[in-house]
Structures are given as structure tokens and as C-alpha cells.
């Protein structure tokens, strides 16, 4: 599934960013390296949020479509049932 693949990729990237962190990066001379890791992590989080938002939107659309189909089925069923009772 695409979602599982993306989640695995983002988790792997998160782990990689975590492994790159070192206590010495708090030193002012290492500020650029720490900033690079931070920027990559922010991008990863943004990408993950986009995936989550897209999944949510797709799910809402699918649920709405299923509700429309069910309502049509219920209406048609009620119509046929009324005709059978006559």
C-alpha cells in the first residue's frame, strides 16, 4: 500500500535524522550542521502532514460517496417495498 510505504520511508528518515544528532552539535561551531538536520526533519514532518491530510480528504470523499450510494439504495428499496405492499 502506498500509505504504508510512505510511512515506512518517513519513519526511516526520522530515525536517520535522530541518529545524526550528537551532543557536540550544541557547540556554536556546529550550528550549521544542526540547522541542516533540523531543516530536513521539518521537511519530513511537512511531507508526512501532507500525506495525512490527503488520506483524510480521500477518506471523507469515499465515505460521502458510500453514503450517497446507500441513500439511493434505501430510497429505491423503500419505493419497491411500497409497490409490493399495494
- Compute the distance between CA of residue 29 and CA of residue 22 in angstroms, rounded to an integer: 13
pLDDT given for residue 23 in this prediction:
67
pLDDT given for residue 22 in this prediction:
73
Cβ neighbours around 49 below 10 Å, total: 10
Per-residue pLDDT of 14-37, as tens digits, reads: 998 888 877 676 777 878 888 898
- For the entire predicted model, the pTM comes to 0.68
Amino acid at each position: 500500500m502506498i500509505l504504508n510505504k510512505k510511512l515506512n520511508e518517513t519513519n526511516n528518515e526520522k530515525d536517520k535524522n535522530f541518529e545524526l544528532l550528537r551532543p557536540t552539535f550544541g557547540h556554536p561551531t556546529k550550528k550549521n550542521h544542526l540547522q541542516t538536520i533540523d531543516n530536513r526533519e521539518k521537511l519530513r514532518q511537512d511531507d508526512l502532514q501532507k500525506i495525512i491530510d490527503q488520506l483524510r480528504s480521500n477518506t471523507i470523499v469515499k465515505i460521502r460517496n458510500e453514503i450517497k450510494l446507500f441513500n439511493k439504495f434505501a430510497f429505491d428499496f423503500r419505493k419497491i417495498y411500497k409497490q409490493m405492499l399495494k
